Chains A and B, each alone.
Chain A
Amino acid sequence: KAGVTQTPRYLIKTRGQQVTLSCSPISGHRSVSWYQQTPGQGLQFLFEYFSETQRNKGNFPGRFSGRQFSNSRSEMNVSTLELGDSALYLCASSRQGRLGNNEKLFFGSGTQLSVL
């Protein structure tokens, strides 16, 4: 059974550009969550999608957006990149993702974004 797949693995962008990251969840998983990981702030929740709808959102500016397709694959987009957006972006999938369901999360290997 294939795991969570994130592409690309590495990205280098310059300030002001935009970027799109992709995540394919485990087959049968309908919930996809995105996290940003930096040395200073650690792992922070960005948003979660279920059945093509954003169900939860973290405390990030509107430059961060996402979407989910009918096959549960998800993309996140960051517009007008800033130096502080340099981070490892991780996505995770689970079957339902509903709070209180006590489901384990399965993470991808992440996309390392560097903004110059």
Chain B
Amino acid sequence: KQEVTQIPAALSVPEGENLVLNCSFTDSAIYNLQWFRQDPGKGLTSLLLIQSSQREQTSGRLNASLDKSSGRSTLYIAASQPGDSATYLCAVEGNTPLVFGKGTRLSVIA
């Protein structure tokens, strides 16, 4: 059974810092890994999707990497801004629909 873990559960950084969020998964037989953002009381917004054959994906200040063999992914956020404050979730799709981690709650302090 696939399990997804995100560390840390919460993170607080000053504005302008670069930061890394971590995601690990137990079963490397995946089709893709996705990163989402969730604002309080809202739905999820897809940020990046990395296919199993890819090593990384970039969108603006966001860069996500995937090491399938070790079961790890990282989300790098450059030059963080207060508007980046949200919960970030990773999810993997394998032989079952998306399995989510419990997220990292990020606070960027101005």
Contacts and interface: CB of A to CB of B under 8 A. Distances in A.
Contact of A112 (B41, B45, B103): B41
A56 B97 CA distance: 8
Given A45-B97, A48-B97, A56-B96, A105 B34 contact: yes
Interface residues of B, number: 25
Interface residues of A, number: 25
A90 B43 contact: yes
Interface string A85-103: 0001010100000011010
B96 A42 contact: no
A110 B49 CA distance: 22
Contact of A100 (B31, B36, B44, B100): B31
B42 A109 contact: yes
A108 to B, nearest CB: 5
A104 B46 contact: yes
Contacts of B43: 4, 6, 90, 107-110
Given A42-B100, A42-B102, A42-B103, A99 B93 contact: yes
Interface in B24-38: 31-32, 34, 36
A107 B43 CA distance: 6
A45 B96 contact: yes
Interface of A: 4, 6, 33, 35, 42-45, 48, 56, 58, 88, 90, 92, 99-100, 102, 104-110, 112
Question: What 10 pairs across the A-B complex have the smallest Cβ distances?
Answer: A107-B43, A43-B100, A42-B102, A107-B44, A104-B46, A100-B31, A109-B43, A45-B97, A102-B32, A102-B51
